[in-house]
Structure 1
């Protein structure tokens, strides 16, 4: 059994609540994909991948216990370094290292069906591995100005490599109208950053060619999924919807459609 101790509240993401630190561990309440998260973290440890917390078991309160990863994380308000190009590129390299490590894990059979609106159109995107799918600034730990570890694996699920890169660029290019972005991230040369992120990751040319169409399609699905989760699950999902995340997604989709050709040209230059 995992030992208990003094609990220090931690700032979770947009949805996770009840996150605490106990000594050198983090305790997380059960999520939608408990077994998959556990198996992914155990597999990463087996492969020697250092860029993720270690899974330690379940504590007396039924929470998952993970190692606490020391380092620097971008909370809100965003720190001045959030727009630093070299930091962003180190995130892309870390994501590639994660993909290379997890690829041998494969895609388990009989995974629980994801929560999604009835009738949501299928995404024409072949599943290749278990992606992180939440590479937000809050979920990357930096050391010495370099991305050291990914945390918060609650959204892991089968995706393509390109699908996880879309999520990476959404936050670190980033995608969207300046008005919807953090002030620190406005006015950046997004085509250049997309190209550099793709290069740092080592994205294939076929994936570069389809990346913008995939990003637009994923945003279309994201709007319906977020709305459905807000209506059925409440909590953080409802709070985000009430704060206007649906409008932000729609604005971002329109921005992607307007700039898709320019971004694709930069990716393939």
Structure 2
């Protein structure tokens, strides 16, 4: 997706959500969590983090106004560059920069975050919690190949831990999934070394690497409950995902994780 100078509305998401681009901005319906997300984005701007959109206010149709981040997203089926080691390491560094910037954010006293997920114990920061290929903007790097530049779509942001946000990201990018449910170019990937590569590039502490597999298991369980809850209460795109087998895919990912636990742990901690 690339920015257009024409000040016209162009829909580029589901009809239910009605996300549109207007010139160099994105307009989307306000939610209960939008003011809290705007406060987070304002903080990121204030501390100099350039890897996120800016919140510009609310328009006359009660839609939030965000800057459109120029670049390309890794739409499915994933391109070759999206599954490279270079991309995975760059994503880890981007997530680390975001976490370091978000760590000093103090949410408003009346902050409201996304609904449908269990709260994390002892949250460390407000995480993105939805770093999927569709929510990372790439720009050409020094070599000319696309590299991760920014995170977009902070709708699911909420107080969490660094490790939980790392695990959520690895769920999509390592990926932690049954091969049958992976993107075609991800099916032949060796996940253990990719977990290690990401953790090394992020600088994840050994104590967190030791907890990564168990945290992934917890995350999958919560994801199942949250997706089912949103499907039942929100309908729309969430209901469509559930009907198309989202729950079964999460269950298969959990079974795959159980079957490969020892191998994954070995890659994570040996020599760390």
The answer to whether the superposition gives a TM-score over 0.5 is: yes
TM-score by length of 1: 0.91
Identify the range of structure 1 (106-115 vs 165-174) with the bigger mean alpha-carbon deviation.
Answer: 106-115
Which of 118, 128, 133 is the equivalent residue of 2:129? 133
1:261 Cα deviation after fit: 1.9
Q: Does 2:244 match 1:230? A: no
Alignment of 1:35-54 (within 5 A): 35-54=35-54
Aligned residue in 1 for 2:209? 208
SS in 2 for 1:44: helix
Change (3 A) 1:143 1:116: closer
Aligned residue in 2 for 1:142? 138
SS in 1 for 2:137: strand
1:190 Cα deviation after fit: 0.4
Partners of 1:147 and 1:219 lie apart in 2 by: 25
| Number of residues of Structure 1 aligned to a counterpart in Structure 2 | 260
Identify the range of structure 1 (27-36 vs 147-156) with the bigger mean alpha-carbon deviation.
Answer: 27-36
Partners of 1:154 and 1:253 lie apart in 2 by: 25
Contact kept, 8 Å, 1:212 with 1:260, in 2: the verdict is yes
Contact kept, 8 Å, 1:82 with 1:185, in 2: the verdict is no
Contact kept, 8 Å, 2:40 with 2:107, in 1: the verdict is no
RMSD: 1.9
Aligned residue in 1 for 2:62? 62
Partners of 1:24 and 1:160 lie apart in 2 by: 33
1:110 Cα deviation after fit: 4.3
Partners of 1:244 and 1:41 lie apart in 2 by: 33
Task: Write the deviation string for residues 46-76 of structure 1: whole angstroms up to 9, x where unpaired.
Answer: 0111000111111111111111111111113
Partners of 2:16 and 2:68 lie apart in 1 by: 16
Contact kept, 8 Å, 1:32 with 1:154, in 2: the verdict is no
Q: Where does structure 2 lack aligned partners over 5 or more consecutive residues?
A: 1-5, 141-145
Which of 2, 9, 12 is the equivalent residue of 1:10? 12
Change (3 A) 1:37 1:217: same
SS in 1 for 2:60: coil
Alignment of 1:19-98 (within 5 A): 19-98=19-98
SS in 2 for 1:167: helix
Aligned residue in 1 for 2:221? 220
1:108 Cα deviation after fit: 4.6
Contact kept, 8 Å, 2:113 with 2:157, in 1: the verdict is no
Partners of 2:116 and 2:49 lie apart in 1 by: 31
Contact kept, 8 Å, 1:20 with 1:27, in 2: the verdict is yes
Contact kept, 8 Å, 1:73 with 1:137, in 2: the verdict is yes
TM-score by length of 2: 0.90
